Amino acid sequence: MTFIMVEMEIQMVIMPLDISRKLFGKRMKNPLILASGVLGVAKAGLESVAENGAGAVTTKSLSLEPRRGHESPVIIETECGLLNAVGYSNPGIEGVISEFTGWKRDEPLIVSIVGKDEKEFAQLAARLEQNKKTLNCTAIELALSCPHTPGYGVMAGQADPKAAEKITRAVRSETRLPIIAKLSPSVPGEVEAAKLAERAGASAINMGNSLGPGMRIDINRGRPVLGFRMGGMSGPAIRPIAVRCVYDIYDAVNIPVIGTGGVNTGQDAIEMMMAGASFAGVGSAVYFRGPGAFRKIEGEMRAWMKERGYKRLDDLVGVAHE
């Protein structure tokens, strides 16, 4: 008995706290992934996010043709969150390939794509498959869940189970890259969508996008503030919804889940993992806590785990289900 106690104590002292992760075989220094749409326009911007502590980064979603996006204001602050309607502005697939070619950092690069239908998604995937070496990207994320762009995402029903399956299958047939299906907290059926996406070849589920659409009206002018009038809600206010979605999906699939939605602190990331996420997506925290958000969140995770004697993230993942 005494012997065992001593052994445990030695283990406590010797085994360092390890919060590194593997994303499809690539090492991440922590489980925090920059969510698509935040600072993902420029390679230099993503390099600086990685430098500032992100475990992996995601590009802004790209489409076949260039898109200017919605009129400004595109992002406004609201109580405990942000409301955004950027509208998938991007220079198009060729522009994005030339922008991100030669990603050199160790942090995995995830390329997010958006299409009007499964054919467009498949075309984009095929282009990425051809360029995956020069891009040095680790995975393709399917943006199925933007709530505020006509013809895309939620507004085109792409986050619905059948559509998610169809799009994932079409992309799977064009690429061997790991596929992350990014689902929506805004429409019912996210658990079924996750199951069908897995069946169609998804390698992971990113459970979370902005919630909505919502609206803010400026009462001095009597007009909606966002250029698109409505937009997706992100930030701490939506976290309970994201946590619940992750919790339900964790039981339903055998592939890893990225929990995205309102992760602002290390404690929030731990909550997401207890719900069943292997990784935590981080977006609006960059606004609330500045470019140093990732380091702060990582520090808080470490401190929390250290205080309670946790050594590995896997000891946290899904514990809320036990």
Partner 1 sequence: MQTARVAKVANESSKVKTIELDTRLVCEPGQFLMVWVPGVGERPMSIANNDPLTISVANVGKVSSELHRLKPGSLLSFRGPLGKGFRVQDGWKCILLVGGGYGVAPLYFLAKMATSNNIETLAVVGARTAKDIVYEDKLYLVTAETFVTTDDGSKGAKGNVMVDVGRLLIDKKRKPAAVFACGPERMMLAVARLCLKHEIPCQLSLERYMKCGLGVCGSCDLGGKSVCRDGPVFDALDALAIKEFGEWKRDASGARNRI
CA atoms 100, 101, 102, 106: torsion sign: positive
Task: Sort 225 into a burial class: Cβ within 10 Å, 0-12 / 13-18 / 19+.
Answer: middle
Position 189 contacts partner 1 (CB under 8 A): no
Per-position DSSP letters for 26-79, written without gaps between them: EEESSSEEEPTTSS-SSHHHHHHHHHTT-SBEEPPPB-SS-B--SPSP-EEEET
Position 199 contacts partner 1 (CB under 8 A): no
Nearest distance in Å: CB 134, partner 1: 18
Rounded to whole angstroms, the Cα distance separating 266 from 249 reads: 22
In angstroms, what CA-CA distances link 279 with 15, 163, 164, 168, 271?
22, 25, 21, 21, 11
Minimal CA–CA distance to 184: which of 214, 205, 162, 215? 205
CB 191 within 8 A of CB 223: no
**Comparison of 85 and 257: residue with beta carbon closer to partner 1:** 85
Q: Which of 30, 61, 90, 112 binds partner 1 (CB under 8 A)?
A: 90
**Comparison of 189 and 291: residue with beta carbon closer to partner 1:** 291
**Comparison of 26 and 229: residue with beta carbon closer to partner 1:** 229
Position 82 contacts partner 1 (CB under 8 A): yes
**Comparison of 256 and 283: residue with beta carbon closer to partner 1:** 283
End-to-end CA distance of the chain: 27
Binding to partner 1 (CB under 8 A): which residues in 270-299?
284, 286-287, 290-291
State the binding string over 93-132 for partner 1 (x if CB under 8 A, else -): --x---x---------------------------------
In angstroms, what CA-CA distances link 164 with 158, 171, 199, 201, 211?
6, 11, 11, 11, 18
Q: For this structure, is 146 an active site residue? A: yes
Nearest distance in Å: CB 220, partner 1: 4
Strand partners, 279: 258
Position 60 contacts partner 1 (CB under 8 A): yes
Nearest distance in Å: CB 74, partner 1: 5
Nearest distance in Å: CB 285, partner 1: 10
Mention every residue, 6+ apart, whose C-beta is less than 8 A from residue 6. Answer: none
Nearest distance in Å: CB 293, partner 1: 11
The binding site for partner 1 (CB under 8 A) comprises 37-42, 44-45, 47-48, 51, 60, 66-69, 71-77, 82, 84, 86, 89-92, 95, 99, 218, 220-221, 223, 225, 227, 284, 286-287, 290-291
Q: Which amino acids are annotated catalytic? A: 146
